[in-house]
Amino acid sequence: MADSGVRRRRVFVTGIGLVSPHGGDPDEVFERLYRGESAVRKVRSGTAELGGDALLAQAEFDPAGIIPKLQLVVTDRVSQMAVVAAHRALSASGLLTDNSGPADMGVYMGCGLGGSQALQDSYRVYFERRSRKLKPATVALIMANAPAGHISMRYKLKGPALTYSVACASSAIAIGEAFRAIRDGYLDRAVAGGTEAMLNDGSVSAWEVLGVLAKEHPDGPGASSRPFAKDRTGFVIGEGAAVLTLETESAVQARGGASIAEIVGYGGSSDAHNLTQPAADGQVRAMRIALADAGLAPEAVGYINAHATATPAGDRIEIDAIKEVFGDHARKLLVSATKSMHGHLVGAAGALEFAITALALRKGRVPPTANLTDPDPECDLDCVPRTGRECPDLAVALSNSFAFGGSNAVLVASRV
C-alpha cells in the first residue's frame, strides 16, 4: 500500500494504449501523424429519412478476445474502446499478468457523454416504438463512469476508479489527477486516460446545430480540419480511447520497467466567462500553474500540443494566451495541432494528445499541423505547417486541453 506521507514522488508514463482514428499501435499512430495523414472521412450519418453526410474521424477496433462475448451485451462502444485501450496500455507496460493488473492500481478516466449509442437506442424504443420495454442493462450501458468500472472489473484493479466528465478537458484532468495522487503518495500506479464514442446521428446532429463543425474543404474531407489556418471553419468530431499507465519511479525500478516520458506538472483553471466561448486569461492561468507545479521557467519548454480545434475564435485566443505566458520565447516554440488529422475526440482528446506529446519527447520529433497552407496572420507562431519537424533536443513539452464550460487543463512532460 502506498505511503500517503510521501510527497513529490516522480511519476512516469510506462505504457500507452490506443483505440484511435489512426489505429491502435502507438508508434504506428505517431508515424502516420508525423507524415501528416488525415483520418477524417465523409460518412453517411442518420436514418434513411433524416440522414446526411458528416465529416467524422472514426476508429476501427475489435474487442474480441479482450472482452468476453457475454460482457459485450452490457458494454456500450464507449466502454469497449476504453477496455481495449487499457488492455493495450497494461500489456505495453508489462503490468498485465494472467489478464490481471496490480490489485492496488487506480483507474482515472475521462468521458464527456457516456454511452451515447445506448441512450439514443433507448429513446428510439420509447418514442418510435412507443414501448417502455428497454434493455435491462440500459442504465449500465449509459453511465459515464461505466468505462472506468469495466476497466476495474476486467483487470481486477482495486484502487480508486474515478471518472471526470469535463467536456473536452475530461481526460487531461483524469491524467492530471492520477499524476497528483501518485506524486503525493496516495497510489503507486494508475491507468489514466479517456474514451468517447458519440458518432451516432443524434449526437452529431447536436454538434451540427451548435455551429462549430467544419465544412468540407474543396480539397476533400481530409483537408477539412484546419487549425490556425485563415480559412478554418470548425472541428471534426472523432472517437476513440487513449489510456496511459502511470507509475512511481521506485515502482518502475523495482520491476525493471521502461519509461516513455515523465509527467512533471499539471495545472487547471476556470475561465468563469462563458459556457462555449474561451477566454485567454483562464488559459494563461492554467499554463502558468502547470509550469509552476513543474518548477520550470517558460524557456524550458520546446513544444506545445495545442488544444486548437480550428474554430475561428478559439485558435486565436490560444495563440494569444501562449504569447502572454511565454513572452519572447513564444517565437522559439513549436506549436502544433494534431486535431487537424485525428479530429476532436472530446472526452478522449486530452489523453490522445498527451500520449502523442509523450511520444514526441521520446522520439525527438514533433508532428505537424496538417492542412496549414495559408496561416491566419493572428496565429503567427511556428505552428509546424504540414510537415513534421525533427527536434532531437526536445526536452519539455506541454499539452493543452480547454473545454466548453471554461475548464482548462495543462499537462507538462519531460524526456527521460
Q: What is the pLDDT of residues 68-81, one digit of tens each?
A: 999 999 999 999 99
The domains of the chain are located at: 11-254, 266-414
> Does residue 149 contact residue 139 with C-beta atoms inside 8 Å?
no
Instruction: Find how far residue 310's CA is from the centre of its chain.
Output: 16
- Render pLDDT for 104-155 as a digit per residue (tens, 0 to 9): 999 999 999 999 999 999 988 988 889 998 888 999 999 999 999 999 999 9
User: In the block, which residue shows the cell 436514418?
Assistant: 47
pLDDT in tens, 180-213: 999 999 999 999 999 999 999 889 999 999 999 9
* pLDDT at res. 4: 47
Is 11-254 in CATH node 3.90.650.10? no
CA angle 64, 68, 70 (to 5 degrees): 120
Pairwise CA distance, residues 272 & 238, whole Å: 27
> Is residue 83 within 8 Å of residue 156, measured between CB atoms?
no
The proportion of the chain whose per-residue pLDDT surpasses 90, expressed as a percent, equals 91
Burial of 405: CB neighbours in 10 Å, binned 0-12, 13-18, 19+: middle
Q: What pLDDT, on a 0 to 100 scale, did the predictor assign at position 48? A: 60
Q: What is the pLDDT of residue 44?
A: 80
pLDDT tens-digit series, residues 334-375: 999 999 999 999 999 999 999 999 999 999 999 999 999 999
- Indicate whether 45 pLDDT > 80: no
Reference 147, options 158, 159, 165, 163; nearest CA is: 163
pLDDT at 1 > cutoff 50? no
Q: Please name the fold of domain 266-414.
A: Peroxisomal Thiolase; Chain A, domain 1 (3.40.47)
Distances (CA, A) of 339 to 72, 94, 235, 349, 353: 30, 30, 8, 8, 8
- Check: CB of residue 157 under 8 Å from CB of residue 107: yes
The rounded mean pLDDT for the chain is 95
pLDDT > 60? residue 5 = no
pLDDT, position 50: 63
The answer to whether the CB of 371 falls within 8 A of the CB of 277 is: no
Start-to-end CA span in the chain (Å) = 26
Amino acid at 362: R
Matching CATH topology for 11-254 and 266-414? yes
CA 196/CA 32 separation, integer angstroms = 21
Q: Is residue 103 within 8 Å of 158, Cβ to Cβ?
A: yes
Tens digit of pLDDT for each residue in 272-314? 999 999 999 999 999 999 999 999 999 999 999 999 999 999 9
Closest to 244 in 3D by CA, of 10, 8, 1, 26: 26
CA 139 from centroid of its chain's CA atoms: 25
Catalytic positions: 168, 307, 344
- The pTM is what? 0.96
What does the block give as the cell for 215?
A: 465544412
The pLDDT assigned to 49 comes to 60
Which SS3 state, helix, strand or coil, does residue 103 take? coil
Name the more confident of 51 and 55: 55
